[in-house]
Structure 1
Amino acid sequence: MSNWLHANMIQGRTLSAFGPAGAFTPSAGPARKVLYLSAGSGVTPLMAMTRAAFDLGQHRDVVFVHSARTPEDIIFETELDALAQASSAFRVIFVCEAQGEQADWQGPIGRLSLGLLRARVPDYREREVFVCGPAGYMDGVRRLLLDGNHDPARYHQESFNFAETVEVVEAAPEQEASTQTCFTVRFARSGATFTMEPSQTVLAAARKAGVPLPSSCSQGICGTCKTTVLEGTVEMKHNGGIRPREIDKGLRLMCCSKPTSDLVLDL
């Protein structure tokens, strides 16, 4: 999306867009003490949450630990330092892999480690943790926190890296799928109707039929295409973009759901 915007957008051009969506928000873990861990451009959503908290006058005890290759690569350094100066409840720590060209750099050198976390954020186990960065970084952070006895129920992450869809929870119907070659899908609110093959995902079929349906990652991660199935059944495989309690309420991700019957969707 970012590359497309840089290549195509010009002053005065208008786009139609859906509003913000997703589950990676402060309300995912409304604790009074939080720990933000980011690397590289993964700082972006955590920075948005930080700015919103300051703008709304929300008072939370926040420690923001950002990892970068060198001091020159730290994103939002000046702004984060200014926010830390403005509030005693907001603390920022920069961790750099290498010294870079700043000979006077006084911050930690190396990668985020459990030892560093214990030294700089000794109460990390009491904090709600929000993580964003490259897949390898997030995998390492998750293992680090588990090794440090942090409660995994208080861990939240956002991914910019969309891997191939893998089965996490399968919401399959109890009955055998019909042998018919096509199914009919109807949007209850808009009245849009199209037919599709059982080998297609609902999102792919809707796009092919020219029927707009909210979506983003198309990999079962972001949750943008989450929709209530009012009638019918689907088989769903996803990457964590939907919670078990949402599945119990009839919600499904259209990007990774294939029909096993005709469908009526709350769209």
Structure 2
Amino acid sequence: MNNWSAQPWQDSEDLECAMVVPETADCATFTFRAPSGAWFDYQPGQFVTLDLPVAPHRGATGNVQRTYTISSSPSRPLSISVTVKAQADSIGTRWMLDHLKPGMRIRAFGPSGIFSSHRHPSAKYLFISAGSGITPMMSMTTWAWDSGTMPDITFIHAARRPSEIILKKRIEQFADRVPGLKLRFTVEEPDPFQSWHGYQGRLSQIMLGLMAPDYLEREVFCCGPEPFMQAVREMLVSLGYDMEHYHQESFGAPVRTEAEAPVIDDIAPDAEAAASVTFSASGVTTACMETETILAVARRSGLNIPSGCTFGLCGTCKIRKTGGEVHMVHNGGISDEDVAEGYILACCSQPLGKVAVEV
């Protein structure tokens, strides 16, 4: 029988690897215990920093410190787990996957971080993640499951393929038992020779509305690569969401304190800011507000831009922008290559100051 300590695990105390569970390609969950028998007290969504003895490994010359979100929940305090995925340039994570085995001890620091549902209690949550950004959502969802009350969580996750959805079986086991946990997956492409019945394509406003129709009522937590989180922010802003209830954590740079939290300075249309659109081919310049779309300004000016869906899906209203900047939140109706060449969708592009287009 284990002689468990009555004390919680203390910052900088060594942890012993107890178990390694493969998840997806180049991804595994490492479970640790405190050799002293201490238990773990933290907020779901927080992270730990591991001091990894990588040298000599991939050119490293000593120990490296890496932060990893805790994928386990404090409702299960006898151990702590991190789920890590190696990228092409990974050093610490690659060392863990190749060398860290049960019985080995690692110095750890923490837990710390401000990204937690505990800090923002709500009756309804919306978790949005991509890639390994699923790990803090898993911790918070496990806490909700273990709390003994019916959760109200809509859990949206994006991945390249179904086989790359980290912790998929575990979260599905939760959702199979409680109707209050609603899972919504979207992938860029299905796996070969395996049918996929979920969403496919980049997460968009349309998908968000279908996946979580009551998103305006939910506290939103988002984690993933910065371009993904920026796209989510733009969707929510354009849909009228109150961003005071939006919280995010980059899995590349977790934040320890409120003071360290980066200022989100997304460019967004100002309802009180004046703008103008010059339709160069027609010789017409029309004053407008930044919250109007190019398509609406064109129609008000007596000009015709062919359009279809009017919400950035069909691509019918694609035109070339020749000057100025616009705020465009689309639903897949234009490619990144077209955007790089100066094209916009008139139906979902709003002028930021003076803009010129070939119409």
TM (normalized to structure 2)?
Answer: 0.44
Distance 1:118 1:134 in 2: 22
> Which has the larger Rg?
2
Q: Does 1:240 align with 2:331?
A: no
The structural deviation recorded for 1:5 is 3.4
SS at match of 2:105: coil
The structural deviation recorded for 1:150 is 0.9
SS at match of 1:94: strand
The structural deviation recorded for 1:239 is 4.8
Letter aligned with residue 255 of structure 2: C
Residue 178 of structure 2: which of 79, 87, 93 is its match? 87
Change (3 A) 1:156 1:102: farther
Letter aligned with residue 118 of structure 1: G
The structural deviation recorded for 1:119 is 1.8
Q: Does 1:78 align with 2:169?
A: yes
Q: Does 1:108 align with 2:199?
A: yes
Contact 1:72 1:101 in 2 (8 A): no
In the other structure, the counterpart of 2:34 is none
In the other structure, the counterpart of 2:245 is 154
Change (3 A) 1:94 1:14: same
Contact 1:37 1:65 in 2 (8 A): yes
Distance 2:185 2:210 in 1: 14
Letter aligned with residue 222 of structure 1: V
The structural deviation recorded for 1:52 is 1.9
Cα displacement string for residues 160-190 of structure 1 (whole angstroms, at most 9, x for unaligned residues): 234xxxxxxxxxxxxxxxxxxxxxxxxxxxx
Distance 1:8 1:78 in 2: 26
Distance 1:60 1:29 in 2: 15
Q: Give runs of aligned pairs for residues 130-209 of structure 1, distance below 5 A.
A: 130-162=221-253
Distance 1:144 1:100 in 2: 28
Instruction: Give the structure with the higher percent strand.
Output: 2
Q: Which moved more, 1:16-25 or 1:130-139?
A: 16-25
Distance 1:57 1:152 in 2: 30
The structural deviation recorded for 1:144 is 0.8
Identity %: 38
| RMSD over equivalenced CA pairs, Å | 2.2
In the other structure, the counterpart of 1:168 is none
Change (3 A) 1:88 1:222: same
In the other structure, the counterpart of 1:33 is 124
The structural deviation recorded for 1:50 is 0.9
Structure 2: gaps spanning 5 or more residues = 1-65, 67-92, 264-359
The structural deviation recorded for 1:123 is 0.3
Change (3 A) 1:150 1:18: same
Contact 2:150 2:178 in 1 (8 A): no
SS at match of 1:130: strand
Distance 1:137 1:131 in 2: 9
In the other structure, the counterpart of 2:82 is none
In the other structure, the counterpart of 1:223 is 256
The structural deviation recorded for 1:47 is 0.7
SS at match of 1:84: helix
Letter aligned with residue 244 of structure 2: A
Q: Which moved more, 1:10-19 or 1:46-55?
A: 10-19
SS at match of 2:173: helix
Distance 2:164 2:241 in 1: 29
Distance 1:239 1:19 in 2: 17
TM (normalized to structure 1)?
Answer: 0.59
Cα displacement string for residues 238-264 of structure 1 (whole angstroms, at most 9, x for unaligned residues): 5529xxxxxxxxxxxxxxxxxxxxxxx
Higher relative contact order (CA 8 A, sep 6+): 1
In the other structure, the counterpart of 1:49 is 140
SS at match of 2:220: strand
SS at match of 2:186: strand
Distance 1:15 1:84 in 2: 34
Distance 1:18 1:95 in 2: 35
Structure 1: gaps spanning 5 or more residues = 163-220, 227-235, 242-267
Cα displacement string for residues 191-226 of structure 1 (whole angstroms, at most 9, x for unaligned residues): xxxxxxxxxxxxxxxxxxxxxxxxxxxxxx5126x8
The structural deviation recorded for 1:4 is 4.6
Distance 1:81 1:15 in 2: 31
Residue 128 of structure 1: which of 194, 203, 219 is its match? 219
In the other structure, the counterpart of 2:104 is 13
Contact 1:71 1:102 in 2 (8 A): no
Letter aligned with residue 223 of structure 1: R
Contact 2:123 2:152 in 1 (8 A): yes
The structural deviation recorded for 1:57 is 2.1
